[in-house]
Amino acid sequence: MTRTVIHGGAVFDGIARGSRPATVVLEDGLIADVLDDGSVPAADVTIDASGGTVLPGLTNAHVHLSFMYMTGDVSKVLTRGDADLYAHAFRVSKVLLAQGITLARDMAGPRGIHLAVRDIINDGRLLGPTVIACGSPLVASGRHAWSVCMEADGPDEMIAAVRQQFKEGADFIKLMASDDPVVAPDGTHTLPGFSAEEVAAAYAEVRRHGALACCHVMGEEAIRTVLDNGADIIDHGHYLTDELARRMAADGVYLTPTISSYDVQTTHPRFDRGQVWADRHTPLIPPHKSAVRAAIDAGVKMLVGTDTVGCFAEEVALLREAGMDPHDSLLACTRWPAEAFRMADRHGTIAPGLRADIAIVDGDPLADPYALEQVRQVIKGGEIYESAQLVADERRLSKNIWELALSPKSADAG
> Tell me: the pLDDT tens digits for 39-57?
999 999 999 999 999 999 9
d(CA 316, CA 329): 6
Is residue 413's pLDDT more than 80? no
What's the chain's average pLDDT? 95
Q: Which of 3.40.50.1110, 1.10.760.10, 2.30.40.10, 3.40.50.300 would CATH assign to domain 3-56+349-391? A: 2.30.40.10
Question: What pLDDT sits at residue 410?
Answer: 55
Residue ranges in 168-241 assigned as alpha helix (H)? 196-208, 220-228
d(CA 359, CA 3): 17
pTM of the entire predicted model: 0.96
- Across 113-264, the runs of DSSP E, i.e. the strands, are 130-133, 138-139, 150-151, 173-176, 213-217, 233-236, 254-256
Half-sphere exposure of 406 (CA within 13 A, CB side): 22
d(CA 411, CA 414): 5
Rg value, the chain, Cα: 20
Report the b/e string of 82-104 with b at 16+ CB within 10 A. eeebbebbbbbbbbbbbbbbbbb
Q: What is the CATH number of domain 58-340?
A: 3.20.20.140
d(CA 85, CA 92): 10
pLDDT band at 227 (very low <50, low <70, confident <90, very high): very high
- pLDDT, tens only, 242-268: 999 999 999 999 999 999 999 999 889
Give me the residue spans of the domains in the chain: 3-56+349-391, 58-340
**Closest among 130, 208, 212 to 175, alpha carbons compared:** 212
